[in-house]
Amino acid sequence: MIRVALVEDYLPQIQRMEEILNQIQHDEKLNLQITVFQDGENFSSMPPHSFDLALLDIQMDKMDGMQAAAKIRKQDEDLIIIFITNLAQYAIQGYAVQAMDFILKPVNPVLFKEKLMKAIRRIERKQKEKRISIKTTQGWVWLKMDEICYVEIVSRHLEIHTDTQVLCCSEPLQNLQALLDERFFRCHVAYLVNMDYVKQVYKTTVRVGKDELLVSKYRRKEFMDALTKHVGRSL
């Protein structure tokens, strides 16, 4: 999931941007969580790292987009900012807040899609590199999400399978799943798989890396739908 803040005070423009975003989301099989703010003050008051991408109008009442970006950039260095404005001269000021891009109004949907997908690819790369901390029987370890092939419930503990090792963990599976992103799907009560590692799906099993795991008949359709969507996004 990619969390998008749309910061715009003009209702017709909000509606137009939501239409464009929803169409791109449908066409590209994206999972966007879009939150609308009608002034920069409310947006900049959100906790740091609440969003992956901000689409910011510049000319707004209370606090304009440039001021909001400057405030939030002090707390969040990772947020990708794209300004949407009528005035091209703001582009120079955008360097001060490390804006990724500018889009002039009226928004051209084709150009906007090109710039949005560039931002999304950058966000997805960052998400794949994200590390999580896991308390194992050997102590705390840091793992990149893309190192995890699958997680298995064995007796009363978890086994986290990577390409190079198996780590034991006493955390409930749902707690670990909450730390992971949408690449991970629970295809069976005992298995949480990283769909990046799925090699083949059979009638009742799935090959993940070198191992063959069970797929619940009650979850198979949902799993296949999620896998199809995931593969489509990866192409």
Question: Do 117 and 31 share a structural domain?
Answer: yes
So what's the pLDDT on residue 184?
94
What radius of gyration, in Å, describes the C-alpha atoms of the chain?
A: 21
Question: Do 153 and 123 share a structural domain?
Answer: no
Q: Rounded distance, CA 109 to CA 176, Å?
A: 39
**pTM value > 0.85:** no
Provide the CATH number for the domain around residue 138: 2.40.50.1020
Q: What is the mean pLDDT of residues 5-12?
A: 94
Identify the domain boundary among 108, 128, 148: 128
The structure tokens listed for 144 are: 């990149």
Q: What is the mean pLDDT of residues 180-205?
A: 93
CB-neighbour burial class of residue 219 (10 A; exposed 0-12, middle 13-18, buried 19+): middle
Question: What pairs with residue 148 in β-bridges?
Answer: 162
Q: Rounded distance, CA 34 to CA 21, Å?
A: 9
Total number of domains constituting the chain: 2
So what's the pLDDT on residue 69?
87
Question: Do 137 and 80 share a structural domain?
Answer: no
Question: Do 121 and 145 share a structural domain?
Answer: no
Percent of all residues in the chain with a pLDDT value above 70, rounded to a whole number: 94
pLDDT tens for 21-77 read 999 999 998 889 999 999 999 999 998 888 999 999 988 878 888 888 889 888 888
Owning domain of residue 56: 2-128
With DSSP H G I counted as helix, E B as strand and the rest as coil, what are the percentages for the chain, rounded to 5?
Answer: 40, 35, 30
- Convert 105-122 to b/e letters by CB count within 10 Å (16 or more is b): eeeeeeebbebbeebbee
